[in-house]
């Protein structure tokens, strides 16, 4: 009778706890699987879309600084719009990857400065909040004007007092511009040491062609971060669920009457209260 009572008690609680345990394991496994898909998929997506670069100089400060590690989306030069920060390589500029901002495209007349010290494109003054501090708040320390040939790009650094850009190549063929084919990628984000995303400047939005659409950097980073969170949550849920199930099982075993348990309770008056104590703790 005593053995039967214990077996019967286990039979009544075992399936319920086992069911909860199995459900918890399934859910935690599913969460981890989804997390892995997002995490690894984000990295694969990033490897296809982006290339990492290290910025060599402060010519683009404060947007990006020397030593910053950036993510640049692989794009065709035909996709470049005014305001884009691009990575390009041109023999006239040293035949090495450089980072500058596009301020003019084929057919544009780019000049500086108007009476307010601002850059103008086709006679329209451009608001440039990204430009680093310069004497008198002017967009350029020296006046210039250039007409950009078709298929070319006119580029300036954001730190106009330091940048060696299209202004120092005005006597070259193309008046300092570079061909669209020289562009390798467009910078979308800084990933180290101060992570952040680069927006598209509104100052060029009213010009024909507008500005580029945002790249996929934000959803890509979001997928990686969410995937990592799901993996951690799913991995932690399984052990926690099993621990709760064991605590409930122990609490239930202390409360169930049985001949074996009754015999022990009869010999020790403290046995029953001990069982209640386990139950109270489990309930909490």
Does an H or E element contain 124, and which?
strand 124-125
Please state, as a whole number, how many other Cβ atoms lie within 10 Å of the Cβ of residue 82. 26
Q: Please classify residue 12 by burial: count the beta carbons closer than 10 Å to its beta carbon, then call 0-12 exposed, 13-18 middle and 19+ buried.
A: exposed
Specify the 3-state DSSP secondary structure of 174: coil
Please state, as a whole number, how many other Cβ atoms lie within 10 Å of the Cβ of residue 74. 12
Quote the CA–CA distance of 173 and 169 in Å, as a whole number.
Answer: 8
Beta-carbon contacts of 22 under 8 Å, excluding residues fewer than 6 positions away, are none
Residues taking part in catalysis:
59, 100
């Amino acid at each position: 009778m005593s053995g039967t009572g214990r077996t019967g008690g286990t039979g009544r609680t075992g399936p319920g706890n086992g069911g909860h345990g199995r459900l918890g394991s399934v859910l935690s496994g599913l969460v981890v699987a989804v997390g892995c898909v997002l995490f690894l998929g984000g990295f694969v997506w990033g490897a296809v879309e982006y290339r990492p670069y290290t910025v060599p100089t402060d010519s683009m400060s404060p947007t990006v600084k020397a030593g910053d590690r950036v993510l640049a989306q692989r794009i065709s030069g035909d996709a470049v719009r005014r305001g884009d920060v691009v990575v390009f390589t041109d023999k006239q500029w040293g035949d090495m990857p450089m980072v500058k901002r596009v301020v003019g495209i084929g057919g544009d007349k780019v000049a500086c400065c108007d009476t307010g010290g601002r850059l103008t494109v086709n006679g329209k003054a451009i608001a440039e909040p990204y430009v680093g501090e310069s004497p008198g708040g002017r967009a350029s320390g020296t006046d210039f004007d250039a007409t950009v040939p078709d298929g070319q790009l006119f580029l300036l650094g954001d730190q106009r007092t330091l940048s060696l850009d299209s202004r120092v190549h005005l006597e070259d063929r193309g008046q300092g511009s570079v061909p669209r084919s020289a562009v390798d990628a467009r910078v979308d984000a800084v990933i180290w040491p101060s992570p952040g995303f680069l927006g598209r400047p509104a100052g060029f939005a009213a010009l024909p062609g507008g500005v580029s659409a945002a790249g996929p950097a934000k959803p890509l980073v979001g997928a990686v971060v969410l995937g990592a969170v799901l993996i951690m949550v799913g991995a932690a849920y399984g052990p926690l669920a099993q621990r709760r199930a064991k605590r409930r099982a122990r609490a239930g075993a202390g409360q169930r009457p049985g001949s074996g348990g009754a015999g022990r309770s009869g010999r020790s008056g403290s046995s029953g209260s001990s069982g209640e104590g386990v139950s109270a703790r489990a309930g909490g």
